[in-house]
A and B are shown apart, each in its own frame.
Chain A
Amino acid sequence: MSNVPADLKYTKSHEWVRALGDGSVEIGITDHAQHALGDLVFVEVPDAGRTVKAGEPCAVVESVKAASDVYAPIAGEITAGNPKLAAEPEVVNADPYGQGWLMRLKPATGAIAAAGLLSAADYQKVLDSEGG
Protein backbone atom coordinates (compact mmCIF):
# COMPACT_ATOMS: atom_id res chain seq x y z
CA MET A 1 0.00 0.00 0.00
CA SER A 2 1.25 3.46 -0.86
CA ASN A 3 1.65 6.09 1.82
CA VAL A 4 -0.68 9.09 1.21
CA PRO A 5 -0.25 11.73 3.98
CA ALA A 6 -3.56 13.43 4.82
CA ASP A 7 -2.09 16.94 5.15
CA LEU A 8 -0.92 17.22 1.53
CA LYS A 9 -2.65 17.98 -1.78
CA TYR A 10 -2.14 15.84 -4.89
CA THR A 11 -2.43 15.66 -8.68
CA LYS A 12 -3.60 12.82 -10.90
CA SER A 13 -0.07 12.72 -12.34
CA HIS A 14 1.29 11.73 -8.90
CA GLU A 15 2.80 14.98 -7.63
CA TRP A 16 2.21 16.20 -4.07
CA VAL A 17 1.93 19.82 -2.86
CA ARG A 18 2.62 21.14 0.65
CA ALA A 19 1.69 24.66 1.80
CA LEU A 20 4.74 26.20 3.51
CA GLY A 21 3.00 28.97 5.48
CA ASP A 22 4.79 31.85 3.74
CA GLY A 23 2.43 31.55 0.76
CA SER A 24 4.82 29.32 -1.20
CA VAL A 25 4.47 25.57 -1.77
CA GLU A 26 6.80 22.58 -1.81
CA ILE A 27 6.36 19.95 -4.55
CA GLY A 28 7.49 16.38 -4.94
CA ILE A 29 6.43 13.00 -6.32
CA THR A 30 4.30 10.60 -4.32
CA ASP A 31 5.31 7.36 -2.68
CA HIS A 32 3.29 5.54 -5.34
CA ALA A 33 5.25 7.33 -8.10
CA GLN A 34 8.69 6.61 -6.63
CA HIS A 35 7.73 2.99 -6.12
CA ALA A 36 6.44 2.62 -9.68
CA LEU A 37 9.64 4.16 -11.10
CA GLY A 38 12.00 2.04 -9.01
CA ASP A 39 15.54 3.02 -8.01
CA LEU A 40 16.09 6.63 -9.10
CA VAL A 41 19.48 7.37 -10.62
CA PHE A 42 19.07 10.89 -12.02
CA VAL A 43 16.94 13.85 -11.00
CA GLU A 44 16.90 17.23 -12.74
CA VAL A 45 15.16 20.07 -10.91
CA PRO A 46 14.33 23.57 -12.20
CA ASP A 47 16.41 26.66 -11.41
CA ALA A 48 15.07 29.36 -9.10
CA GLY A 49 13.48 32.27 -10.99
CA ARG A 50 11.92 30.16 -13.74
CA THR A 51 8.23 30.86 -14.36
CA VAL A 52 6.10 27.80 -15.04
CA LYS A 53 2.53 27.20 -16.21
CA ALA A 54 0.29 24.61 -14.57
CA GLY A 55 0.90 21.26 -16.26
CA GLU A 56 4.26 22.32 -17.71
CA PRO A 57 7.06 19.71 -17.49
CA CYS A 58 9.59 21.24 -15.11
CA ALA A 59 11.61 18.38 -13.61
CA VAL A 60 12.82 14.96 -14.71
CA VAL A 61 13.11 11.83 -12.60
CA GLU A 62 14.90 8.86 -14.12
CA SER A 63 15.17 5.36 -12.73
CA VAL A 64 17.30 2.55 -14.12
CA LYS A 65 14.29 1.58 -16.24
CA ALA A 66 12.73 4.82 -17.46
CA ALA A 67 12.64 8.60 -17.58
CA SER A 68 9.56 10.49 -16.41
CA ASP A 69 8.58 14.16 -16.50
CA VAL A 70 7.31 15.93 -13.43
CA TYR A 71 4.66 18.56 -14.12
CA ALA A 72 4.15 21.85 -12.29
CA PRO A 73 0.90 21.32 -10.34
CA ILE A 74 0.40 25.08 -10.00
CA ALA A 75 1.42 28.10 -12.12
CA GLY A 76 4.02 30.36 -10.53
CA GLU A 77 7.68 31.13 -10.06
CA ILE A 78 10.22 28.55 -8.91
CA THR A 79 11.95 29.72 -5.72
CA ALA A 80 14.22 26.67 -5.27
CA GLY A 81 15.12 23.29 -6.71
CA ASN A 82 16.29 20.70 -4.20
CA PRO A 83 20.11 20.92 -4.44
CA LYS A 84 20.62 17.59 -2.67
CA LEU A 85 19.18 15.47 -5.48
CA ALA A 86 21.94 15.93 -8.07
CA ALA A 87 24.30 13.84 -5.96
CA GLU A 88 21.72 11.73 -4.11
CA PRO A 89 18.69 10.98 -6.32
CA GLU A 90 17.91 7.93 -4.17
CA VAL A 91 16.66 10.30 -1.44
CA VAL A 92 13.43 10.56 -3.45
CA ASN A 93 12.91 6.80 -3.04
CA ALA A 94 13.79 6.83 0.64
CA ASP A 95 11.85 9.93 1.71
CA PRO A 96 9.50 11.12 -1.06
CA TYR A 97 7.48 13.48 1.17
CA GLY A 98 10.42 14.89 3.15
CA GLN A 99 14.04 15.26 2.08
CA GLY A 100 13.11 14.07 -1.41
CA TRP A 101 11.14 17.23 -2.28
CA LEU A 102 11.87 18.44 -5.82
CA MET A 103 11.09 22.16 -5.93
CA ARG A 104 9.53 25.13 -4.14
CA LEU A 105 7.25 27.55 -5.97
CA LYS A 106 5.52 30.88 -5.32
CA PRO A 107 2.06 30.47 -6.87
CA ALA A 108 0.75 33.12 -9.26
CA THR A 109 -2.33 35.01 -8.07
CA GLY A 110 -5.35 32.70 -8.01
CA ALA A 111 -3.26 29.79 -9.27
CA ILE A 112 -3.89 27.48 -6.33
CA ALA A 113 -7.66 27.68 -6.70
CA ALA A 114 -7.31 27.15 -10.48
CA ALA A 115 -5.09 24.09 -10.07
CA GLY A 116 -7.86 21.69 -9.06
CA LEU A 117 -5.67 19.83 -6.57
CA LEU A 118 -6.94 16.59 -5.02
CA SER A 119 -7.38 15.84 -1.33
CA ALA A 120 -5.60 12.79 0.08
CA ALA A 121 -8.90 10.86 -0.01
CA ASP A 122 -9.50 11.74 -3.67
CA TYR A 123 -5.89 10.86 -4.61
CA GLN A 124 -6.33 7.52 -2.89
CA LYS A 125 -9.34 6.93 -5.16
CA VAL A 126 -7.13 7.64 -8.19
CA LEU A 127 -4.64 5.03 -6.95
CA ASP A 128 -7.42 2.52 -6.28
CA SER A 129 -8.79 2.99 -9.80
CA GLU A 130 -5.25 2.40 -11.22
CA GLY A 131 -4.97 -0.78 -9.19
CA GLY A 132 -2.24 0.86 -7.09
Chain B
Amino acid sequence: MARQTPLFKLHQELGARMVDFGGWDMPVQYSSQIGEHHAVRRAAGVFDVSHMGVLDLRGTRVRGFLQRLLANDVAKLKLPGKALYSCMLNEQGGVLDDLIVYYLTDSWYRMVVNAGTRDKDLAWIREQARTFAVEVTERTDLAMLAVQGPEARGKAAQLLPAAEGAAALTLDSFVGRELGRWFVARTGYTGEEGFEIMMPAADAVAAWRSLNSLGVASCGLGARDTLRLEAGMNLYGNDMDERTHPFESGLGWTVALAPSERDFLGRAALEPVVRAGSQRKLVGLLLEERGVLRAHQKVRAAPAGEGEITSGTYSPTLERSIALARVPATTAARVQVEVRGKLLNARVVKPPFVRAGQSLI
Protein backbone atom coordinates (compact mmCIF):
# COMPACT_ATOMS: atom_id res chain seq x y z
CA MET B 1 0.00 0.00 0.00
CA ALA B 2 1.54 3.27 -1.14
CA ARG B 3 1.79 6.09 1.39
CA GLN B 4 -0.27 9.23 0.99
CA THR B 5 0.48 12.86 1.83
CA PRO B 6 -2.02 15.15 3.64
CA LEU B 7 -2.93 16.50 0.16
CA PHE B 8 -3.87 13.14 -1.38
CA LYS B 9 -7.63 13.70 -1.41
CA LEU B 10 -7.23 17.21 -2.83
CA HIS B 11 -5.05 15.88 -5.67
CA GLN B 12 -7.80 13.42 -6.56
CA GLU B 13 -10.44 16.12 -6.36
CA LEU B 14 -8.35 18.30 -8.70
CA GLY B 15 -8.28 15.46 -11.24
CA ALA B 16 -4.61 14.57 -10.90
CA ARG B 17 -3.25 11.39 -12.43
CA MET B 18 -1.59 9.56 -9.53
CA VAL B 19 1.54 7.38 -9.75
CA ASP B 20 3.78 5.52 -7.34
CA PHE B 21 6.94 7.52 -6.57
CA GLY B 22 9.36 6.05 -4.05
CA GLY B 23 6.51 4.21 -2.32
CA TRP B 24 4.24 7.29 -2.30
CA ASP B 25 1.01 7.83 -4.22
CA MET B 26 1.80 11.17 -5.89
CA PRO B 27 0.30 13.41 -8.61
CA VAL B 28 2.28 13.18 -11.87
CA GLN B 29 0.13 15.75 -13.68
CA TYR B 30 -3.17 17.58 -13.32
CA SER B 31 -4.00 18.61 -16.90
CA SER B 32 -0.95 19.07 -19.12
CA GLN B 33 2.60 18.37 -18.03
CA ILE B 34 3.96 20.90 -20.51
CA GLY B 35 1.39 23.49 -19.42
CA GLU B 36 2.42 23.01 -15.79
CA HIS B 37 6.09 23.35 -16.78
CA HIS B 38 5.45 26.67 -18.55
CA ALA B 39 3.35 27.93 -15.62
CA VAL B 40 6.43 27.65 -13.39
CA ARG B 41 8.82 29.22 -15.92
CA ARG B 42 6.45 32.12 -16.69
CA ALA B 43 4.34 32.71 -13.53
CA ALA B 44 3.98 30.34 -10.57
CA GLY B 45 3.19 26.74 -9.70
CA VAL B 46 2.79 24.70 -6.53
CA PHE B 47 4.08 21.15 -5.93
CA ASP B 48 3.28 18.75 -3.11
CA VAL B 49 6.68 17.64 -1.78
CA SER B 50 5.35 16.29 1.51
CA HIS B 51 6.74 12.88 0.57
CA MET B 52 10.24 14.14 1.26
CA GLY B 53 11.63 13.44 4.71
CA VAL B 54 12.10 16.27 7.20
CA LEU B 55 14.47 15.36 10.03
CA ASP B 56 15.25 17.49 13.06
CA LEU B 57 18.66 16.83 14.60
CA ARG B 58 19.22 18.08 18.13
CA GLY B 59 22.10 17.86 20.55
CA THR B 60 25.07 19.85 21.79
CA ARG B 61 27.40 17.92 19.44
CA VAL B 62 25.17 18.13 16.36
CA ARG B 63 27.63 20.25 14.34
CA GLY B 64 30.45 17.75 14.89
CA PHE B 65 28.08 14.95 13.97
CA LEU B 66 27.10 16.59 10.65
CA GLN B 67 30.77 17.28 9.89
CA ARG B 68 31.28 13.51 10.13
CA LEU B 69 28.04 12.53 8.32
CA LEU B 70 28.10 14.86 5.30
CA ALA B 71 30.56 15.38 2.43
CA ASN B 72 29.91 19.11 2.45
CA ASP B 73 30.94 21.06 5.57
CA VAL B 74 28.26 22.60 7.79
CA ALA B 75 30.97 24.91 9.16
CA LYS B 76 30.16 27.00 6.07
CA LEU B 77 26.82 27.85 7.70
CA LYS B 78 27.45 31.00 9.75
CA LEU B 79 23.99 32.56 10.01
CA PRO B 80 20.91 30.86 11.50
CA GLY B 81 18.55 29.67 8.76
CA LYS B 82 21.25 29.21 6.14
CA ALA B 83 20.98 26.02 4.07
CA LEU B 84 23.64 23.77 2.56
CA TYR B 85 23.30 21.19 -0.22
CA SER B 86 25.31 18.04 0.45
CA CYS B 87 25.80 14.40 -0.40
CA MET B 88 25.69 11.78 2.33
CA LEU B 89 28.20 9.06 1.42
CA ASN B 90 28.86 5.49 2.47
CA GLU B 91 32.37 4.34 3.43
CA GLN B 92 33.06 3.49 -0.23
CA GLY B 93 32.33 7.09 -1.30
CA GLY B 94 29.03 6.10 -2.93
CA VAL B 95 26.12 8.51 -2.65
CA LEU B 96 23.53 7.35 -0.10
CA ASP B 97 21.45 10.47 -0.70
CA ASP B 98 21.62 14.14 -1.59
CA LEU B 99 19.97 16.49 0.86
CA ILE B 100 19.59 19.99 2.21
CA VAL B 101 20.54 20.84 5.79
CA TYR B 102 19.52 24.04 7.57
CA TYR B 103 21.49 25.53 10.48
CA LEU B 104 18.85 26.74 12.94
CA THR B 105 20.69 26.97 16.29
CA ASP B 106 23.97 25.59 17.63
CA SER B 107 22.05 22.57 18.93
CA TRP B 108 19.39 22.21 16.18
CA TYR B 109 19.75 21.49 12.45
CA ARG B 110 16.98 20.46 10.06
CA MET B 111 17.55 18.12 7.13
CA VAL B 112 15.38 17.41 4.06
CA VAL B 113 16.00 14.05 2.37
CA ASN B 114 14.55 12.24 -0.64
CA ALA B 115 11.28 10.30 -0.40
CA GLY B 116 12.62 7.04 -1.83
CA THR B 117 15.55 6.95 0.58
CA ARG B 118 14.03 8.35 3.75
CA ASP B 119 13.69 5.07 5.65
CA LYS B 120 17.20 3.97 4.67
CA ASP B 121 18.58 7.43 5.51
CA LEU B 122 16.89 7.50 8.88
CA ALA B 123 18.38 4.13 9.86
CA TRP B 124 21.86 5.20 8.70
CA ILE B 125 21.69 8.60 10.39
CA ARG B 126 20.42 7.16 13.68
CA GLU B 127 23.22 4.59 13.68
CA GLN B 128 25.89 7.25 13.04
CA ALA B 129 24.28 9.64 15.56
CA ARG B 130 24.57 7.31 18.54
CA THR B 131 28.14 8.16 19.50
CA PHE B 132 27.34 11.89 19.23
CA ALA B 133 24.20 11.68 21.41
CA VAL B 134 22.25 13.47 18.68
CA GLU B 135 18.48 13.02 18.78
CA VAL B 136 16.90 12.45 15.36
CA THR B 137 13.17 13.21 14.95
CA GLU B 138 11.25 12.55 11.73
CA ARG B 139 8.73 15.38 11.31
CA THR B 140 5.83 13.37 9.91
CA ASP B 141 3.53 16.05 11.35
CA LEU B 142 4.59 18.48 8.60
CA ALA B 143 3.47 18.91 5.01
CA MET B 144 5.74 20.62 2.49
CA LEU B 145 4.72 22.75 -0.49
CA ALA B 146 7.15 24.03 -3.11
CA VAL B 147 5.90 27.28 -4.67
CA GLN B 148 8.08 28.09 -7.66
CA GLY B 149 8.26 30.59 -10.49
CA PRO B 150 8.94 34.30 -11.06
CA GLU B 151 5.66 35.25 -9.30
CA ALA B 152 5.86 32.53 -6.62
CA ARG B 153 7.28 34.45 -3.66
CA GLY B 154 4.91 37.37 -4.06
CA LYS B 155 1.89 35.06 -4.22
CA ALA B 156 3.00 32.76 -1.39
CA ALA B 157 3.75 35.70 0.93
CA GLN B 158 0.06 36.67 0.67
CA LEU B 159 -0.83 33.50 2.60
CA LEU B 160 0.98 34.79 5.67
CA PRO B 161 -0.06 37.57 8.07
CA ALA B 162 1.28 40.93 6.84
CA ALA B 163 4.38 41.16 9.03
CA GLU B 164 5.38 37.56 8.37
CA GLY B 165 4.70 37.86 4.64
CA ALA B 166 6.98 40.90 4.52
CA ALA B 167 9.64 38.98 6.44
CA ALA B 168 9.40 36.08 3.97
CA LEU B 169 10.14 38.47 1.10
CA THR B 170 13.36 39.61 2.79
CA LEU B 171 14.80 36.08 2.98
CA ASP B 172 18.10 35.69 1.17
CA SER B 173 18.62 32.89 -1.30
CA PHE B 174 19.09 29.48 0.38
CA VAL B 175 17.85 30.73 3.76
CA GLY B 176 14.86 29.47 5.75
CA ARG B 177 13.09 30.92 8.76
CA GLU B 178 10.23 30.03 11.10
CA LEU B 179 7.40 32.48 10.48
CA GLY B 180 4.53 31.72 12.83
CA ARG B 181 3.62 28.05 12.41
CA TRP B 182 5.40 27.77 9.06
CA PHE B 183 9.03 27.30 8.10
CA VAL B 184 9.59 29.23 4.88
CA ALA B 185 12.77 28.69 2.86
CA ARG B 186 13.94 30.41 -0.32
CA THR B 187 14.96 27.19 -2.02
CA GLY B 188 13.71 24.97 -4.84
CA TYR B 189 14.33 22.37 -7.51
CA THR B 190 13.20 24.15 -10.68
CA GLY B 191 15.82 26.79 -11.55
CA GLU B 192 13.29 29.51 -10.69
CA GLU B 193 12.80 31.73 -7.68
CA GLY B 194 10.44 30.42 -5.02
CA PHE B 195 9.82 29.07 -1.56
CA GLU B 196 9.65 25.65 -0.03
CA ILE B 197 7.25 25.86 2.90
CA MET B 198 6.94 23.35 5.73
CA MET B 199 3.68 23.63 7.63
CA PRO B 200 1.47 21.61 9.97
CA ALA B 201 -0.27 18.94 7.89
CA ALA B 202 -3.66 20.42 8.81
CA ASP B 203 -2.77 23.71 7.05
CA ALA B 204 -1.82 22.16 3.70
CA VAL B 205 -5.16 21.84 1.91
CA ALA B 206 -6.26 25.41 2.70
CA ALA B 207 -2.84 26.76 1.67
CA TRP B 208 -3.00 24.90 -1.66
CA ARG B 209 -6.50 26.19 -2.40
CA SER B 210 -5.49 29.75 -1.52
CA LEU B 211 -2.52 29.52 -3.88
CA ASN B 212 -4.80 28.23 -6.65
CA SER B 213 -7.16 31.15 -6.09
CA LEU B 214 -4.19 33.53 -6.44
CA GLY B 215 -3.47 32.01 -9.85
CA VAL B 216 -0.73 29.57 -8.80
CA ALA B 217 -1.05 26.41 -10.93
CA SER B 218 -1.20 22.92 -9.40
CA CYS B 219 1.86 21.08 -10.74
CA GLY B 220 2.78 17.40 -10.66
CA LEU B 221 5.98 15.40 -10.50
CA GLY B 222 6.13 15.24 -14.30
CA ALA B 223 6.69 18.99 -14.61
CA ARG B 224 8.99 18.89 -11.59
CA ASP B 225 11.23 16.45 -13.47
CA THR B 226 11.45 18.47 -16.71
CA LEU B 227 12.06 21.66 -14.70
CA ARG B 228 14.87 20.18 -12.61
CA LEU B 229 16.52 18.63 -15.65
CA GLU B 230 16.45 21.95 -17.55
CA ALA B 231 17.96 23.48 -14.40
CA GLY B 232 20.76 20.87 -14.51
CA MET B 233 19.88 19.41 -11.12
CA ASN B 234 20.51 15.75 -10.35
CA LEU B 235 17.80 13.28 -9.38
CA TYR B 236 18.83 10.69 -6.81
CA GLY B 237 18.49 7.14 -8.13
CA ASN B 238 18.84 8.32 -11.74
CA ASP B 239 21.95 10.49 -11.89
CA MET B 240 23.73 9.12 -8.83
CA ASP B 241 23.29 6.35 -6.28
CA GLU B 242 25.28 4.17 -3.90
CA ARG B 243 27.38 2.81 -6.78
CA THR B 244 28.59 6.21 -7.98
CA HIS B 245 30.68 8.87 -6.23
CA PRO B 246 30.16 12.65 -6.37
CA PHE B 247 33.05 13.32 -8.76
CA GLU B 248 31.47 11.21 -11.51
CA SER B 249 28.03 12.69 -10.76
CA GLY B 250 28.63 16.39 -11.36
CA LEU B 251 28.70 16.91 -7.60
CA GLY B 252 32.42 17.38 -6.91
CA TRP B 253 31.68 21.01 -6.04
CA THR B 254 29.66 19.84 -3.03
CA VAL B 255 32.52 17.84 -1.48
CA ALA B 256 34.45 19.98 1.02
CA LEU B 257 37.98 18.55 1.06
CA ALA B 258 39.33 21.40 3.18
CA PRO B 259 40.11 21.30 6.04
CA SER B 260 42.01 18.07 5.41
CA GLU B 261 41.58 16.92 9.01
CA ARG B 262 37.76 16.75 8.73
CA ASP B 263 37.22 12.99 8.57
CA PHE B 264 33.79 12.73 6.91
CA LEU B 265 32.28 9.38 5.95
CA GLY B 266 33.54 8.39 2.49
CA ARG B 267 36.56 10.69 2.57
CA ALA B 268 39.17 7.90 2.62
CA ALA B 269 37.62 6.30 -0.47
CA LEU B 270 37.43 9.60 -2.36
CA GLU B 271 40.98 10.80 -1.80
CA PRO B 272 42.56 8.48 -4.41
CA VAL B 273 39.85 9.58 -6.88
CA VAL B 274 40.70 13.22 -6.23
CA ARG B 275 44.44 12.57 -6.66
CA ALA B 276 44.09 10.57 -9.89
CA GLY B 277 41.09 12.40 -11.34
CA SER B 278 37.74 10.75 -11.92
CA GLN B 279 37.57 8.30 -14.84
CA ARG B 280 34.04 9.40 -15.68
CA LYS B 281 32.07 12.63 -15.58
CA LEU B 282 28.44 13.70 -15.73
CA VAL B 283 27.71 16.04 -18.65
CA GLY B 284 24.72 17.67 -20.28
CA LEU B 285 23.62 16.56 -23.75
CA LEU B 286 21.63 18.54 -26.26
CA LEU B 287 20.08 16.45 -29.03
CA GLU B 288 20.70 18.00 -32.43
CA GLU B 289 18.06 15.90 -34.20
CA ARG B 290 14.41 15.05 -33.67
CA GLY B 291 13.71 12.44 -31.01
CA VAL B 292 13.75 12.13 -27.24
CA LEU B 293 16.72 11.13 -25.08
CA ARG B 294 15.80 8.75 -22.24
CA ALA B 295 17.59 7.25 -19.24
CA HIS B 296 19.76 4.17 -20.00
CA GLN B 297 20.28 4.94 -23.70
CA LYS B 298 23.88 4.22 -24.71
CA VAL B 299 26.21 7.12 -25.51
CA ARG B 300 28.99 6.56 -28.03
CA ALA B 301 31.86 8.92 -27.33
CA ALA B 302 34.63 7.53 -29.56
CA PRO B 303 37.56 7.54 -29.10
CA ALA B 304 36.97 8.09 -25.37
CA GLY B 305 34.63 5.11 -25.05
CA GLU B 306 30.99 4.63 -24.16
CA GLY B 307 28.65 6.09 -21.59
CA GLU B 308 25.01 6.12 -20.61
CA ILE B 309 22.22 8.64 -20.26
CA THR B 310 21.15 8.95 -16.63
CA SER B 311 18.18 11.31 -17.16
CA GLY B 312 16.66 12.41 -20.45
CA THR B 313 13.56 14.24 -21.52
CA TYR B 314 11.98 16.69 -23.90
CA SER B 315 12.69 20.25 -22.78
CA PRO B 316 9.49 22.32 -23.09
CA THR B 317 11.51 25.56 -22.84
CA LEU B 318 14.11 24.67 -25.49
CA GLU B 319 11.65 22.58 -27.57
CA ARG B 320 14.27 19.87 -28.06
CA SER B 321 15.59 16.94 -26.10
CA ILE B 322 18.14 17.29 -23.31
CA ALA B 323 19.85 14.81 -21.00
CA LEU B 324 22.41 14.19 -18.32
CA ALA B 325 24.87 11.42 -19.19
CA ARG B 326 27.77 9.68 -17.46
CA VAL B 327 30.61 9.44 -19.98
CA PRO B 328 34.38 8.86 -19.99
CA ALA B 329 36.32 11.84 -18.59
CA THR B 330 38.04 12.44 -21.94
CA THR B 331 34.78 12.76 -23.90
CA ALA B 332 34.95 15.64 -26.38
CA ALA B 333 32.30 18.07 -27.60
CA ARG B 334 30.18 15.73 -29.72
CA VAL B 335 28.73 12.27 -29.14
CA GLN B 336 26.15 9.94 -30.63
CA VAL B 337 23.28 8.38 -28.71
CA GLU B 338 21.57 5.09 -29.57
CA VAL B 339 17.89 5.94 -29.74
CA ARG B 340 15.55 3.12 -30.74
CA GLY B 341 18.10 1.49 -33.02
CA LYS B 342 19.38 4.71 -34.59
CA LEU B 343 22.46 6.81 -33.85
CA LEU B 344 21.53 10.44 -33.23
CA ASN B 345 23.99 13.34 -32.90
CA ALA B 346 24.21 15.23 -29.62
CA ARG B 347 26.33 18.10 -28.37
CA VAL B 348 28.05 17.98 -24.97
CA VAL B 349 27.13 21.04 -22.90
CA LYS B 350 27.64 22.25 -19.37
CA PRO B 351 24.39 22.24 -17.37
CA PRO B 352 22.22 24.10 -16.50
CA PHE B 353 20.26 24.33 -19.74
CA VAL B 354 17.73 26.90 -18.44
CA ARG B 355 17.77 29.33 -15.49
CA ALA B 356 15.17 31.91 -14.49
CA GLY B 357 13.14 31.34 -17.66
CA GLN B 358 16.13 31.92 -19.98
CA SER B 359 17.91 29.43 -22.22
CA LEU B 360 21.61 29.16 -21.42
CA ILE B 361 22.34 27.07 -24.52
A115 contacts the other chain (CB 8 A): no
**What is the chain A residue whose CB lies nearest that of B290?**
A42
Tell whether A126 is near chain B: CB-to-CB under 8 Å.
Answer: no
User: Contact between B34 and A64 (Cβ–Cβ < 8 Å)?
Assistant: yes
Chain B residues whose CB sits within 8 angstroms of the CB of A60 once the complex forms:
340
Q: Are A38 and B32 in contact (CB under 8 A)?
A: yes
Flag whether A19 is at the interface (Cβ < 8 A). no
Q: Report Cα–Cα, A67/B321, bound state, in Å.
A: 13
Cross-chain contact B222 with A65 (CB below 8 angstroms): yes
- Count class of interface residues, chain B: 10 to 19
- Tell me the nearest residue of chain B to A35, going by C-beta: B17
Task: Say yes or no: is B313 at the interface (Cβ < 8 Å to chain A).
Answer: yes
CB <8 Å contact, B291 and A42: yes
Contact B33 A39, beta carbon cutoff 8 Å: yes
Interface membership of chain B positions 289-333, coded 1 if the CB is closer than 8 angstroms to chain A and 0 otherwise: 011101000000000000000000110100000000000000000
Secondary structure at chain B's binding surface: helix, strand, loop or mixed? mixed
Which secondary structure dominates chain A's binding surface? strand
24 contacts between A and B (CB under 8 A): A38-B32, A38-B33, A39-B32, A39-B33, A41-B34, A41-B314, A42-B290, A42-B291, A42-B292, A42-B314, A44-B290, A60-B340, A62-B292, A63-B33, A64-B33, A64-B34, A64-B222, A64-B313, A64-B316, A65-B28, A65-B33, A65-B222, A67-B340, A86-B290
Given contacts A42-B292, A42-B314, A67-B292, 19 further A-B contacts (CB under 8 A): A38-B29, A38-B32, A38-B33, A38-B222, A39-B32, A39-B34, A41-B314, A42-B290, A42-B291, A60-B340, A62-B291, A62-B314, A64-B33, A64-B222, A64-B226, A64-B314, A65-B28, A65-B222, A67-B340
